[in-house]
Amino acid sequence: MKKINLVIGANGHLGNNIVRVLLEKGETVLASVRKPNNQKALKGLDCQVTYADIMDRDTLVKAMEGVEVVYHAAAVYKSWAKDIKKEIIDVNIEGTKNVLEAAKIQKVKKLIYISTSHTLDLNKAPLDESTWNNDFSDPYRMSKTEAEKAAWRLAKEYGLWMVSLLPTGIIGTNSYDHLTPTMEALLSILQNKMPIDPCFNMNLVDVCDVANAAYVAAEKGKNGERYLLGQEKPITTTEVFKLAHTLYPNVKIPIKSPNFMTYAMAASIEFICNILNKQPLMSKSQVRTFKSDPTCNISKAKLELNFNPQEQTDIIKKSFRYLKEVIPSSKSN
């Protein structure tokens, strides 16, 4: 009898790609979603779809019945909300605790926890799995850091087998009509909506590479380990603009913004948007994050998960082409 794999957050960008990888490997997949009517990302896939809300432990317990491996890919990926505590912090932290508690109740054999490279100390390059973020100015970074720490604490307390994956900025196909902030940034370049080049440093990884690593982590990963998934060398926004312009000449290459001007602009935007109670296009914490050096030491993932990410320029081009296909407003360029 084949083991049952549960993917929590299965209709998300990474979640549905994990489902696809598992199915390609011949696995039996149970895909949990919070909004049963939103199954576009799972259409045509040979998996059973079930309801589960990470803020409702009972639904998780029910979804995990008979499940051996859980992939927890559900989280809020944004840095602004009208109610930051309720919409970001509580969901990421309390939701993670509910997942761990449900896994304990149902005696799940393995838990693959999807964290992020933002839980690392971004001021210590090259990044590796040994550090933790200590900058809590951004609610997303703070909530994901506290959520992963809570997951490790509970995994130890409950005796659960767990590994955590720490991907950098995920891009790629099968994101459908709900784009992550990283994919939104690429789309804004295609649509000429980024008036300046902030000269950010980016480390981007293909969603399929992360999904494959998640599968391998369940097969070969070592209990209690964190795995950083990204590129060994970052890429600048200047290079990304040039890639977009090469593919689509109508994409403009904006002027470069000095550090002080970028920070001042972010501060002004954030101040105005706080008054208007709107999401800022750029924040001071984002500037600090993306001005850091995201060079990664991925030797551990290479050795233990056979992680071999696709070339960064290749996946960026692929993502641009994908966005052109699926976003109507980007097809005019």
The full set of domain ranges for the chain reads 4-178+204-233+295-311
DSSP-assigned letters across all residues of 255-286: PBPPHHHHHHHHHHHHHHHHHHT---SS-HHH
Which CATH superfamily hosts domain 4-178+204-233+295-311? NAD(P)-binding Rossmann-like Domain (3.40.50.720)
Pairing of strands 28-33, 4-8: parallel
Strand 235-236 relative to strand 201-202: parallel, antiparallel, unpaired?
Answer: antiparallel
Predicted confidence (pLDDT) at residue 332 exceeds the cutoff of 60: no
pLDDT in tens, 149-199: 999 999 999 999 999 999 999 999 999 867 898 999 999 999 999 889 999
Residue 148's CB is within 10 A of a number of other CB atoms, namely 24
Q: What's the whole-model pTM score?
A: 0.94
Q: Summarize pLDDT for 212-250 with one digit per residue, the tens.
A: 999 999 999 999 999 999 999 999 999 999 999 999 999
Q: What is the pLDDT of residue 143?
A: 97
